[in-house]
Chain A
Amino acid sequence: MPDQPQTTSNGTYSHAAASKSEALPPGTQAPAFELYSTPDQTVALNDLQGRPVILAFYPADWSPVCGDQMTLYNEILPGFRPFDAQLLGISVDGKWCHAAFARERNLHFPLLADFEPKGEVARAYGVYRGREGICERALFVLDDAGVIRWSHVSPLGVNPGADGILRALESISTKEVVDR
Chain B
Amino acid sequence: MTESQSPTLMPPIGNGDHVLGPSTASVQLVEYGDYECPYCGAAHAIVQQVLSRMQNRLLFAFRHFPLSQIHPHAERAAEAAEAAGSQGGFWPMHDMLFAHQNALSDVDFARYAASLNLDVERFIEDLSEKRYAERVRKDFLSGVRSGVNGTPTFFINGRRHDGPWDLPNLLTAVEHAAASPVR
Contact = CB atoms under 8 A, between A and B. Distances in A.
B7 interface: yes
B37 A66 contact: yes
B38 A161 contact: no
A66 B1 contact: no
Interface string B134-174: 00000011001111111101000000101000000000000
Interface of B: 1, 3, 7, 34, 37-40, 65, 67-71, 140-141, 144-151, 153, 160, 162
Interface of A: 20, 65-69, 71-72, 74-76, 79, 105-108, 152, 158-164, 166-167
Given A20-B3, A75-B68, A161-B147, 16 more contacts: A66-B67, A66-B150, A67-B65, A67-B149, A67-B151, A72-B148, A75-B69, A75-B140, A105-B70, A106-B69, A106-B70, A152-B3, A160-B147, A161-B149, A164-B147, A166-B144
B70 A163 contact: no
B151 A66 contact: yes
Contacts of A167: 1
A67 B3 CA distance: 22
A67 B147 contact: no
Nearest to B36: A66
Nearest to A108: B69
Given A75-B69, A167-B1, A66 B38 contact: yes
24 contacts: A65-B39, A66-B40, A66-B67, A66-B70, A66-B71, A67-B37, A67-B67, A67-B153, A69-B149, A72-B148, A75-B68, A76-B144, A79-B141, A106-B70, A108-B69, A152-B3, A158-B149, A161-B7, A161-B148, A163-B147, A164-B147, A166-B144, A166-B145, A167-B1
Contacts, number: 72
Contacts of A152: 3
B152 to A, nearest CB: 8
A71 B70 contact: yes
A69 B151 CA distance: 11
Contacts of B37: 66-67
A75 B67 contact: yes
Contact of B150 (A67, A79, A105): A67
A106 to B, nearest CB: 5
Contacts of B147: 160-164
B150 A162 contact: no
Contact of B39 (A66, A79, A106): A66
Contacts of A162: 144, 147
A106 B160 CA distance: 27
A67 B36 CA distance: 12
- Name which of A20, A65, A69, A152 has the most chain B CB atoms within 10 A of its CB: A65
A161 B147 CA distance: 5
Contacts of A160: 147, 149
A152 B2 CA distance: 10
Contacts of B67: 66-67, 71-72, 75
Nearest to B160: A161
B166 to A, nearest CB: 15
A162 B140 CA distance: 12
Contacts of B70: 66, 71, 105-106
A159 B150 contact: yes
